[in-house]
Amino acid sequence: MGLKCKSAGQTNGTIAMNLNAKLAYVDAVGHFGFLLTPSGGGNFAEVSCSFLQHDVIGGNGILGQVTAPPFGTQSETFTLAFKALSGHQEFSQINGTGTKYGLTAEVNGGSAESMTLEGSEAARINGGHKITFVP
């Protein structure tokens, strides 16, 4: 039996977040993506998966790689991917240096522990506008 998680006031399977997004190189080789940070410096989300489980997702940020469209291609959508390697995010620093970004999870009021995010999501630019990523 799989549980569907949700944020307060949302339908099952919907997690609402207020994020800031900054375009960035996610490593020193030139892969690009976005640094996502929680709006207002708080947590990313509070999530309930049943009446028995309440999670708070925090941390200082997470880097996701833009996997589509490629450089120089105009599009109304883009895909942002997150990958975990050996218990850490594949990308954790802008240009591979400086501040290390990561996520934490507090389960049922417990201590914040490091967590990873894996998967990808397609996003659409509002208003029918198009975006072109240029190196």
pLDDT tens series, the chain, 135 aa: 466 889 999 998 898 888 999 999 999 998 899 999 999 878 999 999 888 889 999 999 999 999 999 888 999 999 999 999 998 999 999 999 999 999 999 999 999 999 999 999 999 888 888 989 887
How far CA 63 is from CA of 11, 25, 46, 82, in Å, comes to: 27, 9, 20, 7
Can you give the length of the chain in residues? 135
CB 45 within 8 A of CB 29: no
**Structural domain boundaries in the chain:** 19-127
- State pTM to two decimals: 0.86
CB 72 within 8 A of CB 132: yes
